[in-house]
Amino acid sequence: MTIDRYANRFVCDLVAYEPGKPIDETARELGLDPAQIVKVASNENPLGPSPLAKSAMREAMEEAHIYPDGGGYKLRSAIADTFGLDRSNIVLGNGSNEIIELLCHTFLNRDAELIAAKHAFVVYKLMATLFGAKYVEVPDPGFIHDLAAMADAITPETRLVFIANPNNPTGTMVGQEAIDRFMDRLPEHAIAVFDEAYYEFPDNPPDTLKYVREGRNACVLRTFSKIHGLAALRVGYGVAPAHLAELLQKARQPFNVNAIAQAGALAAIADADHMEKTRQLNRAGLAFYEDSFRARGLEFVPSHANFILVRTGEGDRVFRDMLKQGVIVRAMSGYKLPDWVRISIGTQAQNQRCLEVLDAVMTAAASV
Ligand SMILES: *Cc1c(COP(=O)(O)O)cnc(C)c1O
């Protein structure tokens, strides 16, 4: 008998999150030079970090012996300013993933329910499991969140409804009208969580911050990991009415966002140039993949984000075969999509290489 049987049952039930395969690990396993490997598996920014963020971080290193500002004064103020909100509306997280956890800490228990779409970001389900709550999964025909069905699924026990917009891994987006109608139906005992990790990529994303301004039960999640190219720093934030933000603040660790990350993020906010370059590169890359998939008769899901879901058949095999040639994509069997892979948009050279390798492994399979 081991200590395991005394462990929290909800932890035992968890299936750990499987991240994109790291470059170094792949290089070790294949005996390749890490520099030859193309990783298009985690929706990272192919242009790298914002250059302004890099120099701010170098400077911040000099003060690494001092604890960070646990209140995140400068960063929260700067974020609030960009939205015309108050600092009291902003909660910083160790990635926006941590805000998801703080929401669950604050509102979930064994009697509570969390609602999400069938092909939504998998972390919602992990968190619901961890807190012993009921995870309610709503079908998403055409891979698009069905907000009317999600509103129908709300019960007196519902506390959190997650709307990932654009969603990962599908890249689909729901529009303003559907969101407005959903918010009309949201009862006072539930919170709409708009996970907007890819908010900066689409041309006309819906406005959900208006619900925060109106003091509704809404929490908007954003991150520095995607458009700003700072995934390694682990910094994201939640935007919520002050009384809700205050609750989330209580649930976090005192120094949850480190000082280097705060400095980098603060500089990145001002780097409009890097954001615009990222958007342009992404737009071109999406068009490249969509044209290429169309030409090959491959089914894909039109994307509003910085990745694209494509139906290759045998996603696990395609992932493994591409890996052997040094291209890391993401298999989707964990998302109940065993026939699909998700490809993050890279530089033009990375996109071309990825497509060549995809062609090669699909041709090889067809000729067996
Ligand atoms: C990438 C992503 C996040 C953000 O992750 P971080 O913890 O901020 O790096 C959140 N939600 C979705 C849907 C994502 O794809």
Q: Which fold has domain 3-48+273-367?
A: Aspartate Aminotransferase, domain 1 (3.90.1150)
Nearest CA to ligand 1 atom 7: 95
- All structural domains of the chain with their residue ranges: 3-48+273-367, 51-271
pLDDT of residue 282: 98
Nearest CA to ligand 1 atom 3: 197
Report CA-CA distances (Å) from 15 to 18, 117, 277, 303, 337.
9, 19, 37, 28, 17
pLDDT of residue 368: 64
Nearest CA to ligand 1 atom 15: 168
pLDDT of residue 18: 83
Nearest CA to ligand 1 atom 10: 197
Q: In ligand 1, which atom is closest to the CA atom of 169?
A: 15
pLDDT of residue 364: 81
**Separation of 4 CA from ligand 1 center, angstroms?**
31
**Separation of 198 CA from ligand 1 center, angstroms?**
8
pTM exceeds 0.85, yes or no: yes
**Separation of 97 CA from ligand 1 center, angstroms?**
6
Q: 3-class secondary structure for the chain?
A: CCHHHHCCHHHHCCCCCCCCCCHHHHHHHHCCCHHHCEECCCCCCCCCCCHHHHHHHHHHHCCCCCCCCCCCHHHHHHHHHHHCCCHHHEEEECCHHHHHHHHHHHHCCCCCEEEEECCCCCHHHHHHHHCCCEEEEECCHHHCCCHHHHHHCCCCCEEEEEEECCCCCCCCCCCHHHHHHHHHHCCCCCEEEEECCCCCCCCCCCCCHHHHHCCCCEEEEEECCCCCCCHHHCCEEEECCHHHHHHHHHHCCCCCCCHHHHHHHHHHHCCHHHHHHHHHHHHHHHHHHHHHHHHHCCCEECCCCCEEEEECCCHHHHHHHHHHCCEECEECHHHCCCCEEEEECCCHHHHHHHHHHHHHHHHHHHCC
CA-nearest of 123, 62, 137 to 93 is 123
pLDDT of residue 367: 75
CATH number of the 51-271 domain: 3.40.640.10
Ligand 1 first shell, C-beta below 6 A: 43, 95-97, 121, 164, 168, 195, 197, 223, 225-226, 231, 236
Phi then psi for residue 160, to 5 deg, are -130, 135
Nearest CA to ligand 1 atom 12: 197
Q: Is the dihedral of CA 242, 243, 245, 251 positive or negative?
A: positive
**Separation of 95 CA from ligand 1 center, angstroms?**
7
**Separation of 31 CA from ligand 1 center, angstroms?**
31
Radius of gyration of the chain (CA): 21
**Separation of 103 CA from ligand 1 center, angstroms?**
15
CA-nearest of 318, 292, 306 to 346 is 306
Q: Average pLDDT of each block of 10 consecutive residues along the chain (368 residues)?
A: 88 86 91 92 97 98 97 98 98 98 97 98 95 97 97 98 98 98 98 98 97 98 98 98 98 97 98 98 98 98 98 97 96 95 98 98 81
Whether 225 and 236 have beta carbons less than 8 Å apart is answered as yes
**Separation of 274 CA from ligand 1 center, angstroms?**
19
Q: Which of 94, 99, 121 is the best mutation target for the ligand 1 pocket, counting ligand atoms within 8 Å of the beta carbon and taking the most?
A: 121
**Separation of 361 CA from ligand 1 center, angstroms?**
30
Report CA-CA distances (Å) from 243 to 23, 78, 91, 219, 228.
42, 20, 11, 11, 29
